[in-house]
């Protein structure tokens, strides 16, 4: 069932307020376009994974367990590093001052008032 225009606007307001109050949490929960794969992480991770595969093959060829295990660990670390998401929103929020409690409560009281008005209008 699609949302009405009023509900869509209310949802957009809530999303905007969430991004203002806690951008790191909002970015981790939403499908924000700013939350994307870091090209640097992918390139470095792939290079590490390839180096790990190379070390693993060298360890198998030389029959050296230590080199093989080291290659496996490097390969796993590279894959992990490549799949990490960028945290672009967290850097910009350091200079911001926190919102006062009055602004938050007024936002919530406004939502509560709208909710009450909506409930009174329905049979």
Q: Which has the closest alpha carbon to 56: 46, 77, 35, 70?
A: 70
Residue 37, strand partner residues: 85
Whether residue 77 has pLDDT greater than 80: yes
CA distances from 50 to 21, 71, 75, 85, 119 (A): 41, 9, 7, 20, 60
- In the chain, the percentage of residues whose pLDDT exceeds 90 is 29
Average pLDDT over residues 61-66: 93
Whether residue 118 has pLDDT greater than 90: no
Q: Confirm if 47 and 74 have CB atoms less than 8 A apart.
A: no
**Residue 97's pLDDT is what?**
46
> How far from the centroid of its chain's Cα atoms is residue 12's Cα?
19
Element (H, E) at 112: helix 101-121
pLDDT per position as a tens digit, 107-117: 777 777 887 88
pLDDT per position as a tens digit, 9-57: 888 888 888 788 877 777 766 654 554 677 888 889 999 999 999 999 9
Q: Confirm if 57 and 70 have CB atoms less than 8 A apart.
A: no
pLDDT band at 105 (very low <50, low <70, confident <90, very high): low
Helix (H, G, I), strand (E, B) or coil at 28: helix
């Amino acid at each position: 069932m699609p949302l009405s225009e009023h509900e869509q606007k209310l949802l957009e307001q809530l999303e905007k307020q969430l991004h203002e109050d806690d951008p790191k949490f909002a970015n981790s929960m939403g499908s924000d376009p700013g939350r994307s794969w870091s090209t640097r992480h992918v390139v470095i991770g792939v290079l590490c994974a390839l180096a790990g595969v190379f070390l693993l093959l060298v360890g198998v060829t030389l029959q050296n367990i230590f080199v093989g295990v080291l290659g496996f660990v490097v390969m796993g670390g590279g894959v992990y590093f490549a799949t990490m998401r960028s945290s672009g929103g967290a850097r910009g929020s350091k200079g911001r001052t926190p919102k006062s409690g009055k602004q938050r409560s007024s936002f919530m009281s406004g939502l509560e008032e709208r909710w009450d008005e909506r409930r009174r209008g329905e049979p």
